[in-house]
Chain A
Amino acid sequence: MIGTFDMLRRQFVMEWKLYSRDRAAMFWTFFFPILLLLGFGVIFRSGSGPALTLVVVSAPEGGSPDAGLEAALEHGPLKLMKLSAADAEARWRKGETAAQLDFPSGTPRLRVNSYLTAQGGAAAQVVQQAYLIAQAKSRGSEPSLIPIVMESPGHTRSATYAAFLLPGLLGLNLLTMGLFSVGMVTVSYREKGKFRRLAVTPLPKWVFLGGQVLHRLTIVVIQSTMLLLVGFFGFGIRNQGSFASLAFVMTLGTACFMAMGFALSSFAETTEAYAAISNLCFFPMMLLSGVYFTLDAAPRWLQTAVIALPLSPFVKALRAVFNDGAGLGEHTFGLLLVALWTLAAFSFAVKRFRWS
């Protein structure tokens, strides 16, 4: 008989061995988050993002009906695309144009695509501004603009979108790990009778579960380290808070989402049913918990509702520590919420967990 610790170690080593043979799982776990960070980080790199395009309809005889306005736009941030009325109309009909400036009766008019209000609206604002500047200039005055400073909230260090995204991705990884690697695997083991086979051996069940949990924990550590390294070397993002606080928040989150996976697994008999249930939990959290964007513009009730889901306070706290160097004390409420979720999910899982 080998000792219990040795059993646990063997179980853990076996988990890793089998996991390393599953190429697809390895890709989604380790490389997909990095690709997301690299992709979004590069696309939304501050200042060098893709410029907004404004279609400008040229007059039939060439030249511009409003030279002053066009001159002001030339120096602005918009990419101008000068098209004939017919070409501009064709492009508009295809739905590619977000905003268009034309001169139906000699005076300027803005057309904004109602499907693309974000880009179209922003472009329209720039045109309005340019129009005011042009008018002021034609009256001989020299207008000035209010200077803009880009800064991450809560901190003096300017930060990029990649820096905003990184803690969100760390949180998302934990959620995915809990709901899918833990919950889904538990359901499939139960469905396929793997737990039953173990139940007729003298192996204590907790050793088996312990091996699984340890395996997932090492995945989290590797995954997070890889993301942090790519963040640092690719975008110069560094942890602004203390590493102890970061480790504390990450540990709490890991416990929370693992417990959620175990708890959810007791609701489903089959992996198909579990896929439906877990997606029902996954998508609202992923989309509404501030992983990719903040919810500041969302209705008040929605913001309040999301706070109740653990991912939202978790990502907030993580971001505060990581990006703004906040101490744990500044986010007691959010961390308490996450801890409450952990406790609830854990006791539920213990009570409802089934081997067969």
Chain B
Amino acid sequence: MAELALRVRGLRKRYPKVLAVDDVDLDVARGEVFGLLGPNGAGKTTTLEIVEGLTPADAGEVQVLGLDLEKHGREIRSRFGVQLQSTSLYNKVTPREALELYGSYYPKRRPTAELLDLIQLADKADAYHVTLSGGQQQRLAIGLALVNDPELVFLDEPTTGLDPQARRSLWEIVRRMKAEGRTVILTTHYMEEAEALCDRLAIMDHGRILTVGTPPGLVQELRIPSVVELAFDGIAPEATSFARRLGHPVEVRGGLWEIPSQDPKTLLPQLLDAAEAENVPFQQIHMRRATLEDVFLQRTGRSLRE
């Protein structure tokens, strides 16, 4: 087996009030896009900070690109690229200047013009950082993570706070990274993002890794291919008596009732009967494939978005 891009064993980190990382093991192969998916406070960022060398762990072993993190920090830093959750740049620095300056810190560097093209900022190359949109600033942050032509790239919540269009253009950049043969490790709390980008992902909650697998594999493990949703006008009503009549568990979430099912064809008529008998005032009915969201829900009893 080829050398791993990241190997983590028994990682543990306690902050005064919380056990942020609890016995985490990870293996990320070279060339993979690997995702850490979980809600805010799950320990994703702390895990990344430890493997990036920013935060010391209380216990555990970390090997990055086959090198021991503690012994070869400087070499590792020159071979990986990092985008932190908040990248603070000077207000009045231009993308070109920032890329040049950060590039000068590394032994190996990519040409600035090439990077500007990659992050689609060629036409904003000489505009001040403050004048860039959120998506442009984020693309610059990612460009800075690529100045040294890194073998491994860490992206911490790269699309948080961006509009859908900006998010998609960032996804494109991540796919380019993969096509160029880089290993990408990213955190996200958007399941669509994990599904769209990641070859494999680990679902994290309360500092622990709950499960690791490919996105389709994780959904298949659920053995619940479909979810039927009843949509209400406004907040969905309480569902206890309906669920009893139906003989199926019902999740109430916002304006929806969700009923996971292995056999939607049989469920659907039963469901309509029960709804009529209980006089349920739903507006619409949908059927959808199960997603990572349902995987998370089943594993933790909570929604990712909560």
Contact = CB atoms under 8 A, between A and B. Distances in A.
Interface of A: 1-2, 6-7, 10-11, 14, 17-18, 21-22, 189, 192-194, 196-197, 199-203, 356
Main secondary structure of the interface of B (DSSP, over half): loop
Contact of A200 (B75, B77, B88, B104): B77
A203 B107 CA distance: 10
Nearest to B109: A1
A196 B89 CA distance: 12
Given A18-B93, A199-B54, A200-B52, A193 B88 contact: yes
26 contacts: A1-B106, A1-B107, A2-B104, A7-B105, A14-B97, A14-B101, A17-B97, A18-B90, A18-B92, A21-B92, A192-B86, A192-B88, A193-B88, A194-B89, A196-B54, A196-B84, A197-B84, A197-B87, A197-B144, A200-B52, A200-B80, A200-B82, A201-B78, A202-B78, A202-B107, A203-B105
A243 B105 CA distance: 39
A201 B106 contact: yes
Contacts, number: 58
Nearest to B82: A200
Nearest to B98: A14
Contacts of A197: 82, 84, 87-88, 144
B87 A201 contact: no
Nearest to B78: A202
A1 B107 CA distance: 4
Given A193-B87, A194-B88, A201 B54 contact: no
Given A2-B104, A196-B54, A201-B77, 7 more contacts: A193-B88, A196-B84, A199-B53, A200-B53, A200-B80, A201-B102, A203-B105
Contacts of A200: 52-54, 77, 80, 82, 84
Contacts of B104: 2, 6-7, 10
Contacts of B305: none
Nearest to A355: B54
Counting chain B CB atoms within 10 Å of each CB, which of A18, A189, A197, A203 scores highest? Answer: A197
Q: Top 4 nearest A-B pairs by Cβ distance?
A: A192-B88, A1-B107, A203-B105, A200-B82
B180 to A, nearest CB: 20
B74 interface: yes
Contact of A202 (B77, B84, B87, B90): B77
A203 B105 CA distance: 5
B212 to A, nearest CB: 25
A13 B141 CA distance: 22
Contacts of B82: 197, 200
Nearest to B76: A202
B77 A193 contact: no
A202 B92 contact: no
Contacts of B86: 192-193
Contacts of A7: 104-105
Contacts of B97: 14, 17
A69 to B, nearest CB: 66
Nearest to B92: A21
Contacts of A10: 101, 104
B86 to A, nearest CB: 5
B80 to A, nearest CB: 8
A278 to B, nearest CB: 21
A14 B102 CA distance: 11
Contacts of B52: 200
Contacts of A202: 74-75, 77-78, 105-107
Given A200-B54, A202-B74, A356-B54, A193 B101 contact: no
Nearest to B73: A202
A334 to B, nearest CB: 39
Nearest to A356: B54
Contacts of B74: 202
Contacts of A192: 86, 88
Nearest to A9: B104
Nearest to A204: B74
A201 B98 CA distance: 14
Contacts of B144: 197
